[in-house]
Amino acid sequence: MHTLAGKTALVTGSTSGIGLGIATELARQGATIVLNGFGDPAPARAAIEALGVPVHYHGADMSKPAEIADLMQFAADSAGGVDILVNNAGIQHVAAVEDFPPERWDAIIAINLSSAFHTTRLAIPAMKARGWGRIVNLASVHGLVGSAQKSAYVAAKHGLVGFTKVVALELAQTGITCNAICPGWVRTPLVEKQIEARAEQGGISLAQAQVALLAEKQPSHDFVTPEQLGQLAVFLCSPAAAQIRGAAWNVDGGWVAQ
């Protein structure tokens, strides 16, 4: 059954990784998809098209408010507006605070936090007019707990969890919900870079670096998958989730239970 037929989902940063996984699961439920992200969008577009739903792509740089406004206008013009907004675009930089390049700090805050403010503020009026909407913010376990060397990322993700709560409260008496998903380690290009850095710094193999990365924080010693996160997003879009508002839902193999 296509539970999201007739809905349009915009997933930021959906040319790879978790964003593409979420777009895929929403498409499986019949949603029209608006893709966004860097790199060649052709493989992501083909993967979604194969599921038989309309696909649109806009390459807005999510660090730039004017380009975000253009993306939202594009979604309205090409796909009839955004019913499901998934704020997923994100980057990482790993360094101690005193060595952290200020321009990397600014980029992480802009892409991982401020972009969600801009898409959300532009999406709400049409969602209110339709009386229905779903806003899903891809935060992280780092929206709930800290890790050394990730000051900008942890600050942005804690900010995104706080933003999620405020939006949920402001919309509490509407048909629009806003929630955050907080994944632990998911094997995507963002994490591949951290496995490679760990292997290089420790003089160990990539396989050993992967085991060490998981063992340090994630009790299951297993990666979360983009498909699992996509299916949680589908659930958050369902009628059963209509009273889930302002949640920060960890999907983390037990990371924050420790």
Query: Which positions lie near ligand NAD, rule CB under 6 A?
Result: 13-19, 36-39, 61-63, 88-91, 111-112, 138, 140, 183, 185-186, 188-191
- Residue 208 CB, nearest distance to ligand NAD (Å)? 19
Give 66 or 172: the residue with its C-beta nearer to ligand NAD: 66
Contacts of 113 (CB under 8 A, 6+ apart): 156, 157, 159, 160, 163
- Residue 229 CB, nearest distance to ligand NAD (Å)? 8
For this structure, is 153 an active site residue?
Answer: yes
- Residue 8 CB, nearest distance to ligand NAD (Å)? 19
- Residue 91 CB, nearest distance to ligand NAD (Å)? 5
- Residue 186 CB, nearest distance to ligand NAD (Å)? 4
- Residue 97 CB, nearest distance to ligand NAD (Å)? 19
Nearest to 81 by CA among 132, 44, 46, 37: 132
Give 63 or 151: the residue with its C-beta nearer to ligand NAD: 63
Give 38 or 235: the residue with its C-beta nearer to ligand NAD: 38
Is the CB of residue 55 less than 8 Å from the CB of residue 48? yes
Give 69 or 191: the residue with its C-beta nearer to ligand NAD: 191
Tokens of 136: 């899903």
Give 3 or 231: the residue with its C-beta nearer to ligand NAD: 231
Nearest to 120 by CA among 3, 18, 8, 10: 10
Give 15 or 32: the residue with its C-beta nearer to ligand NAD: 15
Catalytic residue selected from 153, 163, 185, 223: 153
Residues classed as catalytic:
153
